[in-house]
Amino acid sequence: MSDRVADRVKGLKGSGIREFFDIAQQTEGAISLGVGEPDFVTPWSIREACIFSLEKGYTSYTSNWGLLELREMISDRVYTDDSVYYDPEGEILITTGVSEAFDLAVRAIANPGDEMIIHEPSYVSYKPCTLFTGGMPVCVDTVVEDEFKLRAEKLEQKITDKTKAIILSYPNNPTGAALSIKDVEEIADVVTEHDLLVISDEVYGKLTYDGKHTCFSSLNGMKDRTILLNGFSKAYAMTGWRLGYAAGNKDIIEAMMKIHQYIMLCAPITAQMAAIEALRCGDEVERMVSEYNRRRRLMVEGLREIGLSCFEPKGAFYTFPSIENTGFKTSEEFAKRLLLEEKVVVIPGSVFGAPGEGFVRCSYAVSQYEIKEALKRMGRFLERHRVV
Amino acid sequence: MNEKEKQKKDEILRILEENARLSDNEIAKMVDMDEGGVKAIILELENSGIIRKYKALINHDKAGIETVQAVIDVKVSPERNTGYDSIAERISRFPEVKSVRLISGEYDLSVLIQGKTMHEVAYFVAEKIAPLEGVRNTVTHFLLKTYKENGEMYEEEEKGERLAVTL
């Protein structure tokens, strides 16, 4: 037995950058802007509700679909916030994070050879998950001149008769881009015209700073075509709880549930009990968003002051400055040297797909103090490496 | 003042309430204004008495500074015309008194007193507060330990280690 590992896994691009990440994890005294999760601890009322549920003995499996009470609350919340109604029985599935929900969504709809359009730079798991199903990822670039928005014209150019779905991911990780109503309506027109499905990952939907996020399925005619993915990680600072959900058309959600029941059975009940409390305490989200907004402004202005051009992000908690007027050829080289010389961790944009090259992702889900200190160190670094 | 100015002013107050040591420049970035504008708003807030003071919140135990604090519930007979105000003001003038609040319930005023020793505090209550005209009754509660003050935890909460890199 010479090949212990299956071909489809071996075929995955080995992450050459992992070595850099390992060093980053271990560097003493480093300030990390490489974080992809809130620096807030889960609000106490949520933690307290979970502890209480354990004391009461809620430790069993739940329905494969997830607790009905939680599905009902999600249904109410989505209806209140986004004016789109999902039936808690059959149109909502509770999953182990949005990661699982995404995997289920792709597996539920993609036949081998089906093309999935992915805009880049984008979150790293869309491509591999598509490949696992035998589907074909087709990438469409988004560029800083368009504020990293997916443009309908560009999208249309990538559509073939094999296109099954578009994976939409706004507010976006890593760019912080968000779409306006007009932007999403133009995309919806393309979706209708070409009879496509949309997997819309809206996990950063509550974190916007320039107008409210538009839920894709709330657009005219889109509910039936959209698998809406969302979760509790970013909005409620619950990353480690692993809880998300998918909402959509009954047939597709039913298909996702079939897979889910065999691979996951159900999401952990402790996390589900906590999520019920999370949906009750909306104030905390507002408080976190206004704090993120202050940090966002500090970071963007600070990056510009030290000489990096930086597009103004409208959502999530990332900035995506350009490194074009530095002496570095690649974002990876920039990130490595910055860590080595000044102990600041940023993520090379190339990790998020080829169009991310030339940029680095800097998270502002860190304290104001850390933002200021990181900017000071980066300023020194750039003084040394600026191209005159 | 228009709606937008009011919003900026409130946001600056929220920011200062959390951290009064930020520079005008940093605050300006956070609220998307120029530094001069922020300076002017803060000056106006100070002059109009909305911002009362900038102070540090100190954990005296940790600093090894011996202090004794007590909350005194005070029952008073309100006076004609001035109600509770004149007696509350009289109590407020003692420098030992850290805060005075009118409260609902069985007692009328809640008074926080700080002194060096238990004896000093008890003596102060007996000599200065209780004999005041209008004070009918007092109950003294010595503070044993402070867990949270003004929205801040006194013991740093243990936080799980976050990964330096997550994509």
Q: What is the pTM of this model?
A: 0.89
Question: For residue A239, what is the DSSP state?
Answer: G
CB contact B151 to A (< 8 Å)? no
Sign of torsion, CA A369 A374 A377 A379? negative
CB contact B42 to A (< 8 Å)? no
State the pairing for strand pair B135-142/A344-345: unpaired
Question: Which residues are registered as beta bridge partners of B76?
Answer: B135
CATH topology of domain A7-42+284-385: Aspartate Aminotransferase, domain 1 (3.90.1150)
Chain A residues inside the 8 Å CB shell of B157: 41
Contact A204, A196 (CB under 8 A): no
What is A263-292 written as a DSSP string? HTSS--HHHHHHHHHHHH-HHHHHHHHHHH
Distances (CA, A) of A232 to A36, A43, A274, A279, B54: 14, 12, 10, 9, 37
The model's pLDDT over A40-76, given as tens digits with 9 standing for 90+, comes to 889 999 999 999 999 999 999 999 999 999 999 999 9
Query: What is the chain B residue with the closest CA to A41?
Result: B159
CA dihedral defined by A318, A324, A327, A328, rounded to 10 degrees?
Answer: 60
CATH topology of domain A44-281: Aspartate Aminotransferase; domain 2 (3.40.640)
Tokens for B8, please give them: 């900026």
**What stretch(es) of chain A map to CATH 3.90.1150.10?**
7-42+284-385
CB contact under 8 A, B165 and A34: yes
The model's pLDDT over B6-49, given as tens digits with 9 standing for 90+, comes to 999 999 999 999 999 999 999 999 999 999 999 999 999 999 99
The H-or-E segment that residue A259 falls in is: helix A250-263
Q: Which residue among A27, A39, A352 sits closest to B162, beta carbon to beta carbon?
A: A39
State the pairing for strand pair B148-149/B97-102: unpaired
Query: Residue A195: what residue type?
Result: D
Contact B77, B86 (CB under 8 A): no
Chain A residues inside the 8 Å CB shell of B164: 21, 24-25, 27, 30, 32, 34-35, 345
The model's pLDDT over A285-317, given as tens digits with 9 standing for 90+, comes to 888 999 999 999 999 999 999 999 999 999 999
Going through B83-142 in order, the beta strands assigned E by DSSP cover 97-102, 109-115, 135-142
Query: Is residue A158's pLDDT more than 80?
Result: yes
Distances (CA, A) of A278 to A71, A271, B59: 13, 10, 32
Residue B19 Cα, gap to closest chain A Cα (Å):
10
Query: Is residue B70's pLDDT more than 70?
Result: yes
Global ipTM? 0.80
Q: Write down all domains in chain B, each with its CATH number in brackets.
A: 3-47 (1.10.10), 60-145 (3.30.70.920)
Residue B160 Cα, gap to closest chain A Cα (Å):
9
- B window 2-41, beta carbon within 8 A of A: 11, 14-15, 19, 22, 26, 29-32
3-state percent helix, strand, coil for chain A, nearest multiple of 5: 45, 15, 40
Query: Is residue A388's pLDDT more than 60?
Result: no
Mean pLDDT, to the nearest integer, of A225-248?
96
**What stretch(es) of chain A map to CATH 3.40.640.10?**
44-281
Q: What is the model's pLDDT at position A15? A: 62
Q: Which residue among B14, B32, B166 sits closest to A297, beta carbon to beta carbon?
A: B32
pLDDT band at A341 (very low <50, low <70, confident <90, very high): very high
Query: Is residue A386's pLDDT more than 80?
Result: no
Query: What is the chain A residue with the closest CA to B32?
Result: A297
Query: What is the chain B residue with the closest CA to A44?
Result: B157
Q: What is the model's pLDDT at position A246? A: 98
